[in-house]
Amino acid sequence: MAEFTMELNDEQKEVRDWLHGFAADVIRPAAAEWDEREETPWPVIQEAAKVGIYSLDFYAQQYFDATGLGIPMAMEELFWGDAGIALSIVGTGLAAVGVLANGTEEQIGTWIPQMYGDPDDVKVAAFCSSEPDAGSDVASMRTRAVYDEAKDEWVINGTKTWATNGGIANVHVVVAVVDPELGSKGHASFIIPPGTPGLSQGQKFKKHGIRASHTAEVVLDGARVPGSCLLGGKEKLDERLARARERAKSGGERVKNAAMATFEASRPAVGAMAVGTARAAYEVALDYARTREQFGRPIIDNQGVAFQLADMRTSIDAARLLVWRASWMAVNGKPFTAAEGSMSKLFASETAKKVTAQAIQILGGNGYTREYPVERMHRDAAIYTIFEGTSEVQRLVIARTLSGMPIR
């Protein structure tokens, strides 16, 4: 087990500087264009694939970093560049985590490479959990998977929404209900292979922020997938459902569902994304305050501005520390006894919203225009308090964990 440290080692610093250079030289110059176009930045993803950033090997190296800091460090640097483009680059990772968290070794080896493709033919993947009537309320999920024993196939029907890369993905990972009587405990995750009949893209959303990232509905109409596409396998599912039924009868402990296992693993990473966006906005505001003069002196000479910058930097550093702690705990098998993963995501996402708003205020009228990036950063930051569990859900998770009570 690696000791917790706040100091990156030489190898991590080298990777950080490499990522920062890519974010500064490739992502940032393209940010405004792809935000306006509201399209997937395929050329930037391809450039990331060519240098090795958009690849299974790179994310595996960061994911299995014994310190736990590989992923949050990478997320912070890429999202410092631009949140929309960065999400297009890393969005596949959520589907990959879904397979890593729930799949067999064979499934991991078969499907994760197909999520990325290769530098000459890049692919993306999508994790599909939310539904029109079941976002934070996963127990209300309606997408149904029914097992056809004669053909060893699962038949899936339903509509997913808010899916990053939904419909354009080569591989979709879909969470569906297999036992409605068990509520959220009766869910399972499935691989939908490329070209599966019955899967189609529904509405593509025009969003307030992260507009370079594709977000759409995914419609499953009698989509049939082989039994081998059930993540974890049928035997493991049957055992889990049997335990859930027994615990339901006896009022025993809760059983994690497939979607929650994925979100729990990814929440610190989302916190790191928020830290990157907040840091970017803070740096723009700091540079502006140093060079912008009013009444014959830089505006940073005014306490009203300087104190805001002090608070911004303090919050960013505090958020990073919470993210790093949760990431270290996760990779070293430390249980989140105080919902540390949710804490990190909650504080970092709220920090990003506040810091980007303060950056606009420091820039004044200029901050409100698209000539300066803080306007875009503020729009992008709004998503962090919403996706992969709203701030209200994070507070609920934390409160339930601390109290042991079923707070509603």
Q: What residues act catalytically? A: 388
**CB 184 within 8 Å of CB 261:** no
28 CB-contact burial (10 Å; exposed 0-12 / middle 13-18 / buried 19+): middle
The answer for 156, left when phi > 0, alpha when psi is -120 to 50, beta otherwise, is beta
User: CB–CB of 118/49 below 8 Å?
Assistant: yes
Task: Give the helix/strand (H/E) hosting 121.
Answer: strand 121-122
How far, in Å, CA of 345 to CA of 336, rounded? 13
Print the SS3 string covering 161-228: EEEECCCCCCEEEEEEECCHHHHHHHEEEEEECCCCCCEEEEEECCCCCCCCCCEEEEEEEEEEEEHH
Yes or no: say if 258 and 335 are a contact pair by the CB < 8 Å rule. no
According to DSSP, the residues that pair with 147 across neighbouring strands are: 154
- Report DSSP letters for 294-322, one per residue: ETTEEGGGSHHHHHHHHHHHHHHHHHHHH
Selection from 356, 335, 332, 336 nearest residue 345 by Cα: 336
Six token digits for residue 81? 């560049």
In the chain, the N- to C-terminal Cα span, in Å, equals 37
Q: What angle do CA 36, 316, 6 make, to 5 degrees?
A: 125
Distance CA 47, CA 38 (A): 19
For residue 381, give Cα distances in angstroms to 12, 211, 365: 26, 12, 19
